[in-house]
Structure 1
Amino acid sequence: MRRPNTGRDNALWQQCWRDNDIDFHQKTVNSALIRFWAALGILPDARIFVPLCGKSLDLLWLAAQGHSVVGVELSPIAVRAFFKAARMQPARRKHGKFTLWQSGRIDILCGDLFDLTASDLGNVAAIFDRAALTALPEDIRHAYLAQLRKIVPAACKILLLTTEEPEAGETEDQPFAIAEEISSLYARAYDIDLSHVESLFEADADPLIKELVRIEHKAYLMTPKSLPELLA
């Protein structure tokens, strides 16, 4: 199968940061991270990977738990803004295809996630994915997961937060289930625990659509399966 053009939206992402068009940025630590992180059972001194991290305050929260944190972010504007807001004075140096920003327990690799290698990240114990998956175009998500599995250890756990539209035919009063796409992407390699669902009515991303749409915010805990072929 031909790999999709994973970098086709890179220029658009960079422009969003230049224009300060970043309504997606949360001004507080994500509540689901605080609530569900302990369920992964990660040791305090473990290394945590945060893909597509932007200038998220979640990096600071993870570091405050004793973790060393490595994020990857395409926009240097976002990286600079993170350290400025945190009142940190990061060291900067070239690191392969990336610029590595470092301060305290936090490293941010500025560059394209699809250029990362396992040696760039080090021995990562867990991934915190705060809607990085669902921020990507659908045809890139398989490539995204394939890239993650190439660059993190087989035993790496995941806390995945998603923003999803309801499944076709699903009504508001039906029990929520693991989304078909999440199952198709992760079920072969991971045991999936849907830990939380919050259903909200929100404004559509398309400004021409005036009515509110139902959006499901979900928290998934992913534990790798111990299958020999997955550990090879």
Structure 2
Amino acid sequence: MNPEFWQAKWRANEIGFHQNEIHPLLSAHWPANALANARVLVPLCGKSHDLVWLQERGFSVVGFELSEIAVAALFAENALSPQVTILEYFKCYATAGITIYCGDFFSATLDLCGTFDAIYDRAALIALEPAQRDVYLAAVRRLCPVGTRGLLITVEYPEGLVLPPPFSLTSTEVAKRYGEWCKVTLLAQRESDVKGKSALEKAYDFVVES
């Protein structure tokens, strides 16, 4: 999926991937006690309510989102008035506890945003074509040092069931992509709806080890 694909989705308000409630796997499995006051990275965040949920629990939330429409909606819908600055290739929106970098996450650098204690990926990796996964994970690894803890949420469905995105991601693929540099644990799985079809949604805990 190229950037224009997602920009067009937001312009047309074709955002079936957006959820109007807190993701149940986040509220059930986010390791809050182990991550008190953590700085949390949320790539490809859209206008997710999960960002505010994390911020309300004392986390410093930093999201990356390509669409300025999504970023503006996030703050407007939550009655927040961000300060806006230009940093490198990004437009940065910041309020107390929530900062969003509007731009291409693949271009994120340590100089731009520093490192993170935790990462929450609900619909980032599964939004990307398989050929883009290595580039995405390279950006994650730049920003997440040893000890960073993450919650990864994926979907899995038979090939050809629906037209992606979201892309199906098996446990084998998760182990392949994360296993060399993280300790990965499957926390839960549940039946889920993807474009009107039955799929399996999975939540993984991972800790960066190298």
TM-score by length of 2: 0.90
TM-score by length of 1: 0.81
Q: Name the SS of the counterpart of 1:124 in structure 2.
A: coil
Q: Which runs of 4+ in 1 moved over 2 A?
A: 119-123, 199-204
Separation in 2, partners of 1:16, 1:80: 15
Separation in 1, partners of 2:10, 2:115: 30
Q: Name the SS of the counterpart of 1:16 in structure 2.
A: helix
Classify 1:193/1:40 alpha carbon distance in 2 versus 1 (closer, same or farther; 3 Å): farther
Q: Which position in structure 1 is the counterpart of 2:163?
A: none
Identity of aligned residues (%): 38
Offset, 1:163: 1.1
Q: Name the SS of the counterpart of 2:35 in structure 1.
A: coil
Q: 1:73 aligns with which of 65, 70, 83?
A: 65
Does 2:62 correspond to 1:95?
no
Separation in 2, partners of 1:15, 1:68: 30
Q: Which position in structure 2 is the counterpart of 1:141?
A: 133
Q: Give deviations 1:92-146, integer Å, cap 9, x for gaps.
A: 0101100000111100000000110023222310000002101100111122112
Separation in 2, partners of 1:103, 1:57: 15
Between structure 1 and structure 2, the one with the greater Rg is: 1
Q: Name the SS of the counterpart of 1:94 in structure 2.
A: strand
Q: In angstroms, what is the RMSD of aligned CA positions?
A: 1.7
Offset, 1:51: 0.2
Offset, 1:39: 6.3
Does 2:140 correspond to 1:161?
no
Q: Which moved further from structure 2: 150-159 or 85-94? A: 150-159
Q: Which position in structure 2 is the counterpart of 1:10?
A: 3
Give aligned pairs, total. 200
Q: Is the 8 A contact 1:190 1:222 kept in 2?
A: yes
| Structure 1 unmatched ranges of 5 or more | 1-7, 168-177, 205-211
Q: Which position in structure 1 is the counterpart of 2:184?
A: 192
